[in-house]
A and B are shown apart, each in its own frame.
Chain A
Amino acid sequence: MRRIEVSGLSAWFGRKQVLHEVGLVAEPRAVTAIIGPSGCGKSTLIRCINRMHEEVRGARVEGKVLFDGTDIYAPDADPVDIRRRIGMVFQRANPFPTMSILENAVAGLRLGARFPRAELEGRAEQALRAAGLWEEVKDQLSEPGGKLSGGQQQRLCIARALAVEPEVLLMDEPASALDPASTLRIEELIQELKEDFTLIIVTHNMQQAARVSDSTLFMLYGEVVEFGPTEEMFTRPADKRTEDYVTGRFG
Chain B
Amino acid sequence: MLAALRTDARVSGARRWKDRAFTLSLWACALVALIPLASIVGYVVVRGYQGLSVSFFTREPAGPLDPYAGGIVQAFIGTALMVGLASLMSVPLGILTAIYLAEYGQGRFANSVRLIAEVLLSTPSIIAGAVIWSVVVVTMGSFSAFAGALSLTVLMWPVIARATEEIFRLVPQELREGALALGLPRWRVILRVVVPTAGAGMLTAVMLAVARGLGETAPILLTALGSDFINVNPLRPTDAVPLRIFNYARTPVEALHVYAWGGALVLLVVVLALSVGARLISSRQRSLMP
Binding site for B on A (CB under 8 A): 50, 52, 55, 57, 80-85, 87-88, 90, 92, 94, 96-98, 107-108, 111-112, 146, 157, 160-161, 164, 166
Interface residue B199 (Cβ < 8 Å from any Cβ of A): yes
Of B56-64, B122-130, B189-197, B205-213, the segment with at least 4 beta carbons within 8 Å of chain A is: B189-197
With a CB–CB cut-off of 8 A, which chain A residues contact B289? 97
Q: Which 6 A-B pairs have the closest CB atoms?
A: A84-B183, A108-B182, A88-B181, A94-B174, A94-B178, A98-B196
Within 8 A of A (CB), among B195-228: 196-197, 199
Q: Which of B174, B188, B196, B290 interacts with A112 by CB under 8 Å?
A: B188
B284 to chain A, nearest CB (A): 12
Assess the B193–A164 pair: CB atoms within 8 A: no
Contacts known (A97-B197, A98-B288); A52 close to B181, Cβ less than 8 A: yes
Binding site for A on B (CB under 8 A): 106, 172, 174-185, 188-189, 192-193, 196-197, 199, 288-290
Q: Given the complex of chains A and B, what is the CA–CA distance between A111 and B176 in angstroms? A: 13
Assess the A97–B288 pair: CB atoms within 8 A: yes
Q: Given the complex of chains A and B, what is the CA–CA distance between A31 and B185 in angstroms? A: 28
Assess the B182–A90 pair: CB atoms within 8 A: no
- Of the A-B pairs whose beta carbons lie under 8 Å apart in the complex, a sample of 13, sorted by A's number, is A55-B180, A83-B183, A84-B183, A85-B183, A90-B178, A94-B175, A97-B289, A97-B290, A98-B193, A98-B197, A108-B182, A161-B182, A164-B182
Assess the B288–A111 pair: CB atoms within 8 A: no
A80 to chain B, nearest CB (A): 5
Q: Given the complex of chains A and B, what is the CA–CA distance between A52 and B173 in angstroms? A: 12
Complex: chain B residue closest to A104, CB-CB: B178
Q: Given the complex of chains A and B, what is the CA–CA distance between A88 and B179 in angstroms? A: 10
With a CB–CB cut-off of 8 A, which chain B residues contact A85? 183
Q: Which of B106, B174, B180, B188 interacts with A57 by CB under 8 Å?
A: B106
B183 to chain A, nearest CB (A): 2
Q: Given the complex of chains A and B, what is the CA–CA distance between A175 and B215 in angstroms? A: 54
Most buried by B among A88, A94, A164: A94
Q: Which of B178, B181, B183, B185 interacts with A96 by CB under 8 Å?
A: B178
With a CB–CB cut-off of 8 A, which chain B residues contact A84? 182-183
With a CB–CB cut-off of 8 A, which chain B residues contact A55? 176-177, 180
Assess the B193–A90 pair: CB atoms within 8 A: no
Q: Which of B183, B197, B288 interacts with A81 by CB under 8 Å?
A: B183
Complex: chain A residue closest to B176, CB-CB: A55
Q: Which of B172, B183, B199 interacts with A94 by CB under 8 Å?
A: B172
